[in-house]
Amino acid sequence: MINLLPNKEKEELRLEEQKKIILILGIQILILFVSLLLVLFSIDIYISSQVNVQKIIFSQEEKKFGESEAKIFQEKLEFLNQDISNLSSFYKNQINLTEILNKISNILPSGISLNYFSFITDTSQISLVGSAPDRETLLKFRENIEKEKKFSQIEFSSNSWLDPTNFSVNFKISK
């Protein structure tokens, strides 16, 4: 083929052809970017929806777990409170023997010696056997023991007044 066109027109045709190629390539690149953008946008929407679904599932499971944990914790707490209440009532009903022995030793007049001490837990009764040098000391002991508010139903044996060197007394502890 013989090309009889002048050089200037040949140059214009080449430039026009290059412009068309650049325009076609530009449109293809633009279509590629738009397609890529649409694909990325659809992936974003998909991932966002999956994240939201997982958040909902997680919150439901967390709520179930939280409720079950709270229920277990509440049951344990109630159980422990019951134990503490039982222990508290148990200790309230207990008699402090150290305190009672201290009170007995404080009210004993000098000269009286105790030979026997008995404490019955069920009835909170104390029995004492001892000896006093004389009847007046034993009377002083009876006055002191009757003054004590924690002691009630005080009973000296009848033999105690006949022979104070060998006396016995029974009394109950008031709570």
What are the residues facing 120 on neighbouring strands?
125
Phi, psi of 114 (to 5 degrees): -100, 135
Report the pLDDT value the prediction gives residue 27, as an integer from 0 to 100.
96
Report the pLDDT value the prediction gives residue 175, as an integer from 0 to 100.
66
Report the pLDDT value the prediction gives residue 85, as an integer from 0 to 100.
84
Report the pLDDT value the prediction gives residue 2, as an integer from 0 to 100.
67
* CA dist list (Å): 75 to 7, 70, 71: 99, 8, 6
Report the pLDDT value the prediction gives residue 1, as an integer from 0 to 100.
57
Indicate the class that CATH gives domain 97-173. Answer: alpha beta
Report the pLDDT value the prediction gives residue 39, as an integer from 0 to 100.
95
CB atoms within 10 A of CB 138: 23
Is the pTM higher than 0.75?
Answer: no
Task: Return the minimum-mean-pLDDT range out of 12-16, 17-21, 138-142.
Answer: 138-142
pLDDT tens, position by position, 65-74: 777 777 888 8
- The token pair that represents 152 in the structure block: 């009630």
Report the pLDDT value the prediction gives residue 160, as an integer from 0 to 100.
74
Please state the domain extents for the chain: 7-94, 97-173
Of 32-36, 113-117, 145-149, 167-171, where does the model show the most confidence? 32-36
pLDDT tens, position by position, 21-40: 999 999 999 999 999 999 99
Q: Which among 152, 156, 144, 95 is positioned nearest to 121, based on CA atoms?
A: 95
pLDDT tens, position by position, 92-103: 767 777 788 888
